A and B are shown apart, each in its own frame.
Chain A
Amino acid sequence: MAYAIEMKHIRKAFPGIVANDNITLQVKEGEIHALFGENGAGKSTLMNILFGLYQPDEGEIYVHGEKVKITDPNDANRLGIGMVHQHFMLVDKFTVAENIILGKEPSHLGRLNMAKAVKIARDLSDKYGLDIDPLKKVEDISVGMQQRVEILKTLYRGSNILIFDEPTAVLTPIEIKELIQIMKRLVSEGKSIILITHKLKEIFEACDSVTVIRRGKVIDSMAIADTNPDDLANMMVGRKVNTQINNTAYEPKGKVLDIRDLTVLDSRRVKVVNHLSLSVHGGEILGIAGVDGNGQEELVEAIAGLRKASSGTIEINGQDMTNHKGRKITENGFGYIPEDRQKDGLVLDFTVGENLALQTYYRKPFASSGILHPKVFTQQAKQLIEEFDVRTPSERTLARSLSGGNQQKVIVAREVSRSPQLLVAAQPTRGLDIGAIEFIHGKLLEEKQMGKAVLLVSFELDEVLHLSDRIAVINEGRIIDIVNPKETNENELGLLMAGHKKEAHQA
């Protein structure tokens, strides 16, 4: 059978790392081919090479059997390669139609023909059954529709090879189903699709074959029919996954965090946390499972005092902390590992030492009467670096120059060393390598065993299932159920996350 795309022996090195090492990828015409691997395995680099955004150091690319050189996205477009980016490449202030035609506009002597543009958008959306409104501005439409606009952009350019980069990360379960339908329809129209993902479920629902990448190298490539989820998972991480991480005893103590009837509004004044009640006890890890965008972020921010609660109460250690200043909450025994470690967790241009003191710099012994004591900073930093195994040349190194795993260790060290009664960890292992993930998981369990309350928010079901003592499922700003991880499975959780409580119980 003919190949739509063949990338042979691709190598791409960046200073300090080989992102792609002798990678060969063969995508047959008319198939959905999964490119499967962990974050940072080299998937995006490979696709950026195919799309002309990076140049490979070595290797050859064949499109429909012909050897080609792709030096920029224009070349890729000409060859019929289109990309649906993970972070949508849409101009918010432009209309849907303007976004679709941008760069290949219907025009006469430089004059835009907007009427024609709108017609093009309508025709395309009819042809492929992708529902959009060409005249609406992108900033006013749903995420799902934005993704359809991204797909239409590639179709308008006549692409017959479509790359989908982690397309489901931002979608609801129903939107994911629709997307898989759309992909199947596109393939039946003769298109070929490369699906970049690290989610097993999608691969088995949507794909015909799969190539597994790990640390820049191809591990294997096969038809979906010839494999199973366990094998693929093992190939992805490179060894048997330890499925029983949390085998510690569950001995819950008193309530540390008690949330009652909490409502939080987002910037558009929509109730993103909707009369939510939840409590976390000392000596337990409570995992929150849910699809991204169901209020997790706002819930955590409200607990941390970073976002106003419009009604309800939050008690920490028996004290009302609702709408108190962040610092006061922190001082009341609250530790926080934020989701975006580079943006919110660290001051990247501060030294490791300064970052380790980011919550305590103003207190004794770090300062007195507003004057800093640099020696104490150094002393404490050295101790924590040792204790938490942060790999850094010295405490004077800038946080920016550490690896992701070590950056996260700095945050964990800072938060845990203050021995808070409540530790909230949001996506604590996203994008980290196995070693760092194990370290972080170990620390969370350690905190639990010391009788602390841990609230874990994660989109990775595995992580929630394996670490939690109880799992609270969040959907549209409410906890729709709390389940025991030993008595549930991914299926039931998936249904709950999608908001199907009744069916879940019948199942």
Chain B
Amino acid sequence: MSFFQVLTIIIPSTLLTAAPLIFTSLGGVFSERSGVVNIGLEGLMWVGAFTGAVATLFLEHAGVGAASPWIAILIAAAAGGIFSLIHAVVSISFHADQTVSGVALNFLATGLTIYLVKMIYNGQGQTPYIANNIDKTTIPVLGHIPFIGPIFFQQVTYTSYIAILFAFICWYILFKTTFGLRLRAVGEHPEAADTLGISVIKLRYIGVMISGVLGGIGGAVYLVTITSNFNISTIAGQGFLALAAMIFGKWHPIGAMLGSLFFGFAQALSITSQQIPYLDRLPSVVLMIAPYVLTLIVLTGFVGKAEPPKADGVPYFKGQR
């Protein structure tokens, strides 16, 4: 197998597995940049995947057809946003420990989604498979560029490119707009923002809800592009992987995207390694644990210090000095 062929297997596969991670890790960036730690990304992906499945099935049933998964992603975004409100209320308004609240959010998501699946589908632990998933396709024009086309633009889903586009949009919002400046100020020094008339509470709510929306999208994209049905092992740690990607990317949108792509690459390798010469001899576990080990290494500061926003995880009390 030529190196070119290897690339045509690995790169599209990387793009596919990275897309949900990109969306979700971008969500994490917004929440943590505003100063709210979000361990609950995993739960938000559960809710997104569940909503994605149920909504697609419903829309298909209603005869919407091929547009069903796309609309379902939007519905999942809304569901994620609403679900994240619980984290916002508990950790921002009630000043609960943000990690505790995030852990509880994951609990709630896993329990509630499976409970609802069983309720809706007569006690079965999983949803039926959706008929209209978002398929791999060849992107017009770009897919026919020699060499580059088969590697980057064939056998890919549009969601991957939308995800990458989102990363740049998020970068623009965070670093080039007033909203972004204020959001970052709130995450770094909420008291300062408060004295300048910026509402810490409001911005943190927005930050958390954006993470909910993006986490919901991430979960739904995972469902409609990769698994096609929802059950207890659908998400299985993707949210925590997104969290790792965000840290790996040092709380920066582009970094989070690159981290996600990198983790997607590791996942793609572990899935496809059997087809690839030399790699098939590497124990698959090495590739499976690589993202986590690498994140630990990044955190130790051997490869540039990863520093979270200063007020990340610190509940804010108005008027507290």
Contact = CB atoms under 8 A, between A and B. Distances in A.
Interface of A: 48, 51, 53-54, 72-74, 77, 83, 85, 87, 89-94, 98-99, 102-105, 107, 110-112, 153
A104 B182 CA distance: 10
Interface in B135-167: none
Nearest to B194: A73
Interface in B152-188: 176-182, 184-185, 188
For the complex of A and B, the 8 pairs showing the least CB-CB separation, nearest first, are A103-B196, A74-B197, A89-B192, A105-B178, A91-B189, A91-B188, A107-B178, A110-B177
Contacts of B319: 48, 53-54
Nearest to A106: B178
Interface string B184-206: 11001101111111100000000
Contacts of A102: 181-182, 185, 192-193, 196, 198
A92 B321 CA distance: 17
A112 B182 CA distance: 11
Given A89-B189, A93-B188, A102-B185, A73 B197 contact: yes
Interface of B: 176-182, 184-185, 188-189, 191-198, 310, 318-319, 321
Contact of B176 (A73, A83, A112): A112
Contacts of B321: 87
Given A92-B189, A102-B182, A85 B195 contact: yes
Contacts of A94: 181, 184-185, 188
A73 B177 CA distance: 23
A110 B179 CA distance: 7
Which of A77, A94, A103, A112 has its CB near the most chain B CB atoms (within 10 A)? A103
A83 B194 CA distance: 12
Contact of A72 (B184, B191, B192, B197): B197
A92 B307 CA distance: 13
B198 A103 contact: yes
Contacts of B184: 91, 94
Given A53-B319, A87-B321, A105 B192 contact: no
Contacts of B192: 89-91, 99, 102
B197 A112 contact: no
B252 to A, nearest CB: 12
A112 B173 CA distance: 10
A48 B176 CA distance: 33
B189 to A, nearest CB: 5
Given A91-B192, A104-B196, A111 B185 contact: no
A167 B189 CA distance: 20
Nearest to A48: B319
30 contacts: A48-B319, A53-B319, A54-B319, A73-B194, A77-B197, A85-B195, A89-B189, A89-B192, A89-B196, A90-B189, A90-B192, A91-B184, A91-B189, A91-B192, A92-B189, A93-B310, A102-B185, A102-B193, A102-B198, A103-B182, A103-B193, A103-B196, A103-B197, A103-B198, A110-B177, A110-B179, A111-B176, A111-B177, A112-B178, A153-B196
Contacts of A112: 176-178, 180-181
Contacts of A74: 197
Nearest to B179: A110
Nearest to B180: A112
Contacts of A153: 196
Contacts of B176: 111-112
A85 B189 CA distance: 14
Contacts, number: 70
A51 B177 CA distance: 28
A99 B181 CA distance: 10
A482 B40 CA distance: 60
Contacts of A72: 197
A48 to B, nearest CB: 7
Nearest to B177: A110
A364 B167 CA distance: 62
A74 B198 CA distance: 8
Contacts of A73: 194-197
A90 B193 CA distance: 9
B310 A92 contact: yes
Contacts of B310: 92-93
Given A51-B195, A53-B319, A89-B189, 19 more contacts: A53-B195, A72-B197, A73-B194, A90-B189, A91-B193, A92-B188, A93-B188, A94-B181, A94-B184, A102-B196, A103-B193, A103-B196, A103-B197, A110-B177, A110-B179, A111-B176, A111-B177, A112-B177, A153-B196
A165 to B, nearest CB: 10
Contacts of A90: 189, 192
A90 B318 CA distance: 17
A297 B178 CA distance: 40
A45 B295 CA distance: 46
B109 to A, nearest CB: 32
Given A48-B319, A92-B188, A93-B188, A110 B178 contact: yes
Contacts of B188: 91-94
A72 to B, nearest CB: 7
B247 to A, nearest CB: 17
Nearest to A101: B181
B169 to A, nearest CB: 13
Contacts of A83: 195
A383 to B, nearest CB: 37
B185 A89 contact: no
A31 B176 CA distance: 41
Nearest to B187: A91
Most chain-B Cβ atoms within 10 A of its Cβ — which of A72, A89, A102? A102
Contacts of A48: 319
Contacts of B180: 112
Nearest to B307: A93
B205 to A, nearest CB: 17
A90 B195 CA distance: 10
Nearest to A86: B321
A91 B33 CA distance: 13
A112 B172 CA distance: 10
A458 B100 CA distance: 42
A93 B310 CA distance: 9
Contacts of A92: 188-189, 310
A53 B177 CA distance: 27
Contacts of A111: 176-178
A107 B177 CA distance: 8
B194 to A, nearest CB: 7
A90 to B, nearest CB: 6
A366 to B, nearest CB: 33
A91 B179 CA distance: 16
Residue among B176, B178, B191, B321 with max Cβ neighbours from chain A (10 Å): B178
Given A48-B319, A92-B310, A98 B181 contact: yes
A77 B197 CA distance: 8
Contacts of A89: 189, 191-192, 195-196
A89 B195 CA distance: 8
A92 B310 CA distance: 9
A389 B184 CA distance: 49
Nearest to A157: B196
Nearest to B192: A89
A104 B181 CA distance: 11
B300 to A, nearest CB: 19
A89 B191 CA distance: 7
A91 B185 contact: yes
A92 B179 CA distance: 18
